[in-house]
Structure 1
Amino acid sequence: MIFGQLMIFNLISEVIQDKVSVCESTRTALENCLRQLKCHFTWNLAEPGKSLDDFEDKVCNATEFQDNEFRTTVFNLLAYIEQQRGHSEAALERLRQAEELIQREHPDQAETRSLVTWGNYAWVYYHLGRHADAQMYVDKVRRVCEKSRSPYRMESPALDFEEGWARLQCGGRHHERAKVCFEKALEKEPKNPEFASGLAIASYRLDTWLQPQNPIDPLRRAIQLNPNNQYAKVLLALKLLKMNEEGEGDRLVEEALKGAPCSTDVLCGAAKLYQRKGALDKAIELLRKALEGMPNNASLHWHMGCLCRTKVLEMLQGTGKNESGNREKLQEAIGQAVHHLKRVDEANADFPCVCSYLACLYAQASQYDHAEHYFQKEFSKALSPGARQVLHLRYGNFQLYQMKSEDKAIHHFIQGVKIDLESKEKEKMKNKLQKIALIRLSKNEADSIALHLLAFLQELSGDMRPAEENPERRLDSGSFLCSASFAKE
């Protein structure tokens, strides 16, 4: 009896082990197939250890390509991000949106253009543990690719094109690979205007990011193949401005704005050009129009806030600041800058110095409680040494000029100087400490704080140069100098 039960137990164990082996073998085979797919999960788009929130901000807030058919790329990217977070159902919803868009806009090329999305489906279902569904999408890819050398990937300009756009959305380290993708696509279809546009944009990005390029020829080629490529015209105009060839650039921008008056990427590119030309009001007008189409885009609010802040700085440096009309315009500009930068802060988007900018603007508006709030919020962040130096300089100026607290100003200037980084901000804080010390000594030769400051400065960098003439006049002035809270001291 016992012997029989043992036999049955052993047989059951063997069956279970066989099934486990089969399941393990099936899973291994599926994993091998998944790794061969051309899709976002095999392109290594997100950097290990980097914030997924920051990566999502980069994708969602990019203003380029939001107006056109490349939204499929965005849906696929968002699906990839959701799965990286472990939100598989949300990822599947994004993929459904991508698939619907492909069916609607490219019915004649739906299968080829869906290969990347199907690959993403397979990976998401695999992570869900739904291996049968994952295998179903792997099989769909295989049926389309069966005539190619690899059963799970095919050499297709459309796939290179899709990878190129995906990489363009993901930041600077992907631009070189994006350029290669578009070049590869153009080898097969040299007169394809979309491929030429991709190469032109990648070349332009690389010229301003990593290494010198010559995007002029690719941009001209993109415009030649598609005279309605208004964004390429704006990029070419920006490059020509850099080369001091403004005449053709101005014509191109006017042509682009006339051809695509509501296109977000065109409006943003044109705004950048007018900003570089010093026409801030025109740049602000264009960004305001772009915001009408994308009112919740944090990137647009960031650029608008920075433009308005630059306008505030220019007004502070101009003449007639105390005239009633100019004061009203200044307060209006401050209000606009604050409005847009607060939208960025509320969105928790990853843009530098947002709270610091807000603090300085509130300080200029004499709203010191709000200024203090945003300064402290900035101090609570994980900042680079350079950013922390800038913050100590700004906050020290706020304490010195607005709050009339010399002790707190001295403390923050010292903290900023102690940071082991040579910078213009560090030199400015050293100079401010020296001037404070000399003024104190002019009133009391035995001032211990002043003597300690000078000893501290001498220990840091040896004998300091004499302070500028009339330092007392500069430090004792009750007026708000432009340098008092803003970073451009």
Structure 2
Amino acid sequence: MSEANNSLEQILPQLKCHFTWNLFKEKDIPEDLEERVCEQIESLNPEFKGTMYNLLAYIKHLDGRNEEALECLQQAEESIQQEHSDQAEVRNLVTWGNYAWVYYHLGRLPEAQAYVDKVKQACEKFSNPLSLDCPELDSEEGWTWLNCGERQNERARVCFEKALEKKPNNPEFSSGLAIAKYYLDGKPRKQISDSVLKKAIELNPDNQYIRVLQALKLQKMNEEAKGERMVKEAVEKAPHQNDVLRIAVKFYKNKGDLDKAIELVQRMLESTPNNCYLYHQIACCYWAKVKQVQNEESDADMKREKMDELRKHAKEYLNKAIEKGLSPLYEYSELTELLEIEEYDQIASSKELPARERQHSQHDRDSLGQTAGTTVQCDLEGLPVSQTSAEKQKVNGQQENTSENQIPPNAPNYWYQQGLIHKMNGELLQAAECFEKELGRLLRNSPSGISHFFLPAPEL
């Protein structure tokens, strides 16, 4: 068995698959990646499902769910066989390589060796013992990089350009290159020419995702009317394809048509009702509507009533986002302003506060107005703060009955809530201590590794 183990350890790193592409540095997986991949499996065209199932299998492996990973690989293999029957052997090389790695990590070496042998047999047909150099594999790697976060778009571009060298008019490779270059558009010396998107659309007339990207490009070029026609057509032809709807939402938000943006996000929620980021999107749209109304010239009382209603909707959707699992580390943007203003309103009107803090509340709010609109990356104030009396009593009870070492498992923002209670009671020193504890918790859990810069070794 040890000889077989040594043999596999030498062979496995030579396979072209997710385990050898070094997709995530130190397993730093984007927080919402698994959810996004599952969403795309439901909404993407069938020919791409094999790619997404392979990526999902690797994500599950990194999370220690190897049996589930095997199920995903089986689905990938079946999907590839069904959608690419004429190229199934070549396209399944990545799947078989992943199979071999998962079985190896499970300690099931005979099965791992069996899949290594399948790879060998397929590659030997093309005079290469282990690794077949073909554009389909380059494309598979490119699509994988595209789905691993914006930092990987450059690597995706290289893969698709390599694939296009051998098949310059391939629709799939052309689409991949256009998408990769589009998302590199904002970087210096990486400006995408309009011809790249146009060629991709010509080769992929039914690919509505490419069309909405072109619409965004036109919007940036001050051709919004032409872009909107493309967006409407794309949404009509792909009414339930969330990746298309997501770009359409961005288009309408840029235009200022927030009602249409909200409508499209709500349509996306029909297929993914537990997606916290979509609830956050709607909250952002409602808060943007508040600012629109604020700039309108109308009756003051009517304006105030309308703004209060919009704030209420924004708050409801933000609370839903947090209930569905939105991390406090997520960028809350202008919603932070909304919640802080509400909190200062509550503090100013609270009879429980000392007179000194009531005097300072208006000054604090004025200062807040000067900094409104600033994007906040890790803002503890970006959590829901308006509570009913019953909720306040509940949290107060938790504060009295819970020691520092017995934080309720169902209260991930426990110290933040305690800090708010102390703050509202005028106990500013205790509030600061609680906020520091919450910040320490966020730093320890941060995927970026920022905790190593701020927390002492014992806390790490």
Alignment of 1:200 with 2:182, yes or no, is no
Residue number among 65, 68, 82 corresponding to 1:87 in the alignment: 65
- Asked if 1:235 is matched to 2:213, the reply is yes
Do structure 1's residue 338 and structure 2's residue 315 form an aligned pair? yes
Matches within 5 A, 1:266-305: 266-305=244-283
Compared with structure 1, are the counterparts of its residues 77 and 128 closer, same or farther at alpha carbon in structure 2 (3 Å cutoff)?
A: same
Tell me if the contact between 2:185 and 2:192 (Cα under 8 Å) persists in the aligned partners. Answer: yes
Provide the secondary structure at the position in 2 that maps to 1:153. coil
Structure 1 pair 308/180, CA: closer, same or farther in 2 (3 Å)? same
Distance in 1 between the 2:88 and 2:383 partners? 55
What SS does the corresponding residue of 1:284 show, helix, strand or coil? helix
1:348 and 2:339 matched: no
Q: Look up the equivalent residue of 1:176 and give its one-letter code.
A: E
User: Which whole-Å CA distance do the structure 2 matches of 1:389 and 1:120 have between them?
Assistant: 36
Q: Which secondary structure state, in structure 1, belongs to the residue aligned with residue 86 of structure 2?
A: helix
Where does 1:342-421 land on structure 2 (aligned, <5 Å)? 342-350=319-327, 352-354=330-332, 357=335, 360-361=338-339, 364=342, 387=376
Distance apart, 1:258 and its partner CA: 3.0
TM-score (norm 2): 0.70
Matched, 1:261 2:247: no
Going from structure 1 to structure 2, the CA distance change for 1:390 and 1:347 (only over 3 Å counts) comes to closer
Deviation of the 1:355 alpha carbon: 10
Equivalent-residue separation in structure 1 for 2:23 and 2:377 (angstroms): 30
The CA RMSD over aligned residues, in Å, is 3.8
Pairing 1:151–2:117 present: no
Report the alpha carbon displacement of residue 365 of structure 1 after superposing the two structures with TM. Answer: 9.0
| 1:347 counterpart letter in structure 2 | K
The code of the aligned residue for 1:307 comes to C
Contact 1:76-1:94 within 8 A present in 2 as well: yes
1:33-182 mapped onto 2 (5 Å cutoff): 33-48=11-26, 50=28, 52=29, 54=31, 56-57=33-34, 59-60=36-37, 66-69=43-46, 70-182=48-160
Cα deviation for residue 297 of structure 1 reads 2.7
Whole-angstrom CA distance in 2 between matches of 1:192 and 1:126: 35
**CA-to-partner distance for each residue in 1:87-132, whole Å, 9 max, x for gaps?**
2112112212222222332333322221111111100000011110
Summarize the Cα distance change of 1:228–1:365 in structure 2 as closer, same or farther, 3 Å threshold: farther
Distance change (3 Å), C-alpha of 1:219 and 1:320? same
Q: 1:83 to 1:63 in 2, by over 3 A?
A: closer
The structure-2 alpha-carbon separation of the partners of 1:300 and 1:359, relative to structure 1 and needing over 3 Å to count, comes to same
Question: Deviation of residue 79 (structure 1)?
Answer: 1.3
Q: 5+ unaligned residues in a row in structure 1: which ranges?
A: 1-22, 373-385, 417-489
Aligned length, in residue pairs: 371
User: SS of the counterpart of 1:129?
Assistant: coil
Contact (CA 8 Å) 1:200, 1:218: kept in 2 or not? yes
The separation in 2 between residues aligned to 1:220 and 1:232, in whole angstroms, is 9
Cα 1:339–1:83, aligned 2, differ >3 Å: closer, same or farther? Answer: same
Q: What is the deviation of 1:201?
A: 0.4
Deviation at 1:330, TM superposition (A): 3.1
Bigger Rg, structure 1 or 2? 1
Partners of 2:188 and 2:144 in 1: CA distance: 19
Pairwise CA distance, 1:246: 2.4
Quick one: structure 1 residues 230 and 138, their matched pair in 2 at CA, closer, same or farther if it must change by over 3 Å? same
Q: 1:390 to 1:93 in 2, by over 3 A?
A: closer
Structure 2 Cα separation of the partners of residues 169 and 300 of structure 1: 18
The structure with the greater share of residues assigned to helix is 1
Contact in 1 for aligned 2:178/2:197 (Cα 8 Å): yes
Q: Deviations over 1:180-210 (max 9, x none)?
A: 1111222222222111111110000111367
SS across alignment from 2:144? helix
- For 2:229, the equivalent position in structure 1 comes to 251
Structure 1 residues 297 and 242, CA gap change in structure 2 (3 angstroms): same
- Return the offset for 1:344: 2.9
Deviation at 1:212, TM superposition (A): 2.9
Q: Secondary structure at the match of 1:323?
A: helix
Distance 2:426 2:42 in 1: 51
Letter of the 1:99 partner, please give it.
E
